[in-house]
Structure 1
Amino acid sequence: MGSLVESEAVGAREDTFAWFCQTVDNEVMPVMLSTRHAADFRASVTDLDLGVVRLSALACSPVVSRRTSVHVRRGDPEHLQLALVTQGAVRISQRGNDAVVAGGLVLTDTSRPSEGECIGGQVESVVLQIPRQALALGPDRVDRLLARGLAADAGAGAIFADFLRTLRARGPHCRPEELRAMGAIALDLAAVFLAQQLGDPSEAPAEARARETVQRIHRFIENNLGDPGLTPQAIADRHNMSLRRLYTLFDDQPLTISARIRQSRLERAHADLARGELSGQPVQAIAARWGFASATGFSRAFREAYGITPTEHRASSRTTPRHAEHRNPARPAHHRGPRGPKFTAGDTAPA
């Protein structure tokens, strides 16, 4: 399967609803749709081929959907659909279960009849379409989760939901090989999340659990960039693991943990220095906000990454159009090569 990116959007027109029905029928699954807003229906569909899985982002005016056994016989991709409702609310019914979901996740099975309804106004959702055979969990157990509201605000659910949002926003700009890699990660995160919902996270494959842990650590780093004490040791302690275990988890990552912290801090400071509303704040204050304890160390790291000083970047931002781009921070010198350890015992994030 290739990694083709397809995207379409249609505004309010009389033929929009007909287009939406056909697109869902062709790209997702056969289903009967009805609406009271056909004359001014609004909809958009974005479809990302991620290799082993697919991602569909849908936004539409209120609709009612009904997938009968006739629709199943006419076309069944044999997918489990794990949907994140990002705007509005939906009511889903399947296998005798019924759930109203707003801001959370819900699982459905294309091989079974189902009904759905948008409640209120416009609804937006991001749907990961997972081939049943690709999910290494017992089908009978997974079926217990169908059409039940699944929380997306904590634990594995929050990590999975954040990943779906990022894929929706950034995926259309990725290369095909990047999308395939993201698809493998999405599948692993889904497996860990569903196993957790079943009450046994250990049921998920070991590789899937490891990837979920890496994503959880990435999320922790992003939420704590302003803490000067954010170091590999602090991260290991927070996640109840040894430094050796932490380094092993990141063996196949493009950046070491310290380099990841450094790059993220530089990116945040780089963006803040270009913001006109922050022009009155000293460079050192912005550096400190993102965890740089030393003004000299920040200036040196910034120049190494961007080729100019923080002050020069701030000045150029006042005369450079907002769409102009600077190069991304260069990988720090302690980025690991194909072999050898990534850290010494005392390695910390540059300040």
Structure 2
Amino acid sequence: MTSTSTDITDFQFSTADWAERDRLPIFREQIGRMIVKLDPEPLVDGAFHAEANVRELPGLGVGSWTCANLRIARPRELLDGTDDLVLTIATSGIMNAVQRGRELKLNPGEGVLMSSAEAGNMSVPLSPTRFMGLRLPRKALAPLVADPENMLMRALPANTEALRLLALYIRELDDSYRLTSPELVRAVVTHLIDLGSLVIGASRDGTAMAEDRGLAAARLAAIKADISENLGYGDLTISAVAARLRLTPRHIQRLFEGAGSTFSEFVLGQRLARAHRLLTDPRRIDSTIGTIAFESGFGDLSYFNRTFRRHYGATPSEIRAAAFLP
């Protein structure tokens, strides 16, 4: 478990890191009952697996889990007096959720809202299942959602933009966000609450507010992720990104303008950063500068050399030479 100066607590574990005979006792007593207030047990006799990356932010919690052959319950004796709502999204595999006498099967991309104030459980089969969880305080949702209680234990469909973007935003939070300031932490918390409210069913005023904040931030994160995935293609255009994400080019332009940048500036910066990484990677020491430029999406070597030198204050050859000085 680690803490940061911005009031964030990160907690990671994997049962694969423990001796087989110790896995269930450690997971059940030290992790389950003491930390996450859950009671895990194998669904059927045999091997089980669990790993998680749980992050506590001011005002909410977020986690990414991978489990197999487990039933994870919150019995009455582990209820801790909180009445937060927990939004769970299945990202791969299938899982079952039980609460209030109802049982729901979740397929990939589907979600369910449950209450932390009531007993319930989730189970995953022998095959690995990945899911994400977002713990949302009711008071934070109150200005945005008229009646979140009405959405408890109802299947949330996979094809909504808000659910897809929330899952992507949580992945980006795990993979690439560096929450280095209180202002950035507050912004991320607001965005997650906004996206959660849209998934649950925000009111008209709440929808307008959430779309201007969290939805816009998540769309921009999705655009940047798409650009990164397609950076090596020389014909990467705003129209192509817009078509893949079902947005308009003008909307993408407005999102970048709101962040103080442009689509072209971001693409160029990412291509230059990739080229710099490849030039300083010992595994790519035998690759020519032309090859690296091409792999980074540059079709014109002279343009690459010119823009690289302008950006880094040195030529690609100089950067490579400095990286491998004895």
Q: Do they fold alike, i.e. is TM over 0.5?
A: yes
3-state SS in 2 of match to 1:239: coil
Asked if 1:162 is matched to 2:147, the reply is: no
Distance apart, 1:130 and its partner CA: 1.3
Asked if 1:27 is matched to 2:55, the reply is: no
Distance apart, 1:119 and its partner CA: 0.8
Q: 1:272 to 1:208 in 2, by over 3 A?
A: same
Asked if 1:138 is matched to 2:145, the reply is: yes
Give the distance between the partners of 2:72 and 2:208, measured in 1 at CA: 36
Asked if 1:207 is matched to 2:213, the reply is: yes
Q: What is the match of residue 340 of structure 1?
A: none
CA distances 1:150-184 after superposition (whole Å, capped 9, x unpaired): 427x733332222212222345x643634443333
* Equivalent position amino acid for 1:92 in 2: A
Q: What is the match of residue 58 of structure 1?
A: 65
Q: Which of 264, 268, 271 in structure 1 is aligned with 2:274?
A: 268
Q: Which deviates the most, 308-317 or 98-107? A: 308-317
3-state SS in 2 of match to 1:126: strand
Distance apart, 1:127 and its partner CA: 1.7
CA distances 1:294-342 after superposition (whole Å, capped 9, x unpaired): 322211222333444334555677x589xxxxxxxxxxxxxxxxxxxxx
Q: 1:147 to 1:92 in 2, by over 3 A?
A: farther
CA distances 1:29-67 after superposition (whole Å, capped 9, x unpaired): 4x4332268886554443312223212233444221333
3-state SS in 1 of match to 2:106: strand
Q: 1:24 to 1:113 in 2, by over 3 A?
A: same
Q: Which of 57, 64, 86 in structure 2 is aligned with 1:81?
A: 86
* Equivalent position amino acid for 2:275 in 1: A
Q: Which structure 1 residue ranges, 5 or more long, are not aligned?
A: 322-351
Kept after mapping to 1: 8 A contact 2:93/2:128 = yes
1:214-233 equivalences under 5 Å are 214-225=220-231, 226-228=233-235, 230=237
1:1-351 equivalences under 5 Å are 2-9=7-14, 10-22=17-29, 23-29=31-37, 31-35=38-42, 42-68=49-75, 70-71=76-77, 74-86=79-91, 88-95=93-100, 96-102=102-108, 104-135=110-141, 136-138=143-145, 140=147, 143-144=150-151, 146=153, 148=155, 150-151=157-158, 155-170=161-176, 174-175=179-180, 177=182, 178-195=184-201, 204=210, 206-225=212-231, 226-228=233-235, 230=237, 239-240=247-248, 242=250, 246-247=253-254, 249-250=255-256, 253=259, 255-273=261-279, 274=281, 276=283, 279=286, 283-313=289-319
Q: Which structure 2 residue ranges, 5 or more long, are not aligned?
A: 1-5
* Equivalent position amino acid for 1:18 in 2: P
Percent of residue pairs bearing the same amino acid type: 22
Q: 1:286 to 1:60 in 2, by over 3 A?
A: same
Q: 1:287 to 1:107 in 2, by over 3 A?
A: farther
Q: 1:149 to 1:210 in 2, by over 3 A?
A: closer
Q: 1:313 to 1:255 in 2, by over 3 A?
A: same
CA distances 1:83-125 after superposition (whole Å, capped 9, x unpaired): 3434543211234241133455443222333232111144443
Give the distance between the partners of 1:275 and 1:151, measured in 2 at CA: 42
Give the distance between the partners of 2:91 and 2:18, measured in 1 at CA: 20
| Aligned-pair Cα RMSD in Å | 4.2
Q: 1:16 to 1:298 in 2, by over 3 A?
A: same
3-state SS in 2 of match to 1:138: coil
* Equivalent position amino acid for 1:6 in 2: F
CA distances 1:119-139 after superposition (whole Å, capped 9, x unpaired): 114444332211122124435
Q: What is the match of residue 3 of structure 2?
A: none
TM-score (norm 2): 0.73
Give the distance between the partners of 1:231 and 1:121, measured in 2 at CA: 39
TM-score (norm 1): 0.68
Number of aligned residue pairs:
310
Q: 1:27 to 1:87 in 2, by over 3 A?
A: farther
Distance apart, 1:205 and its partner CA: 5.3
Q: 1:3 to 1:87 in 2, by over 3 A?
A: same
Give the distance between the partners of 2:149 and 2:302, measured in 1 at CA: 54
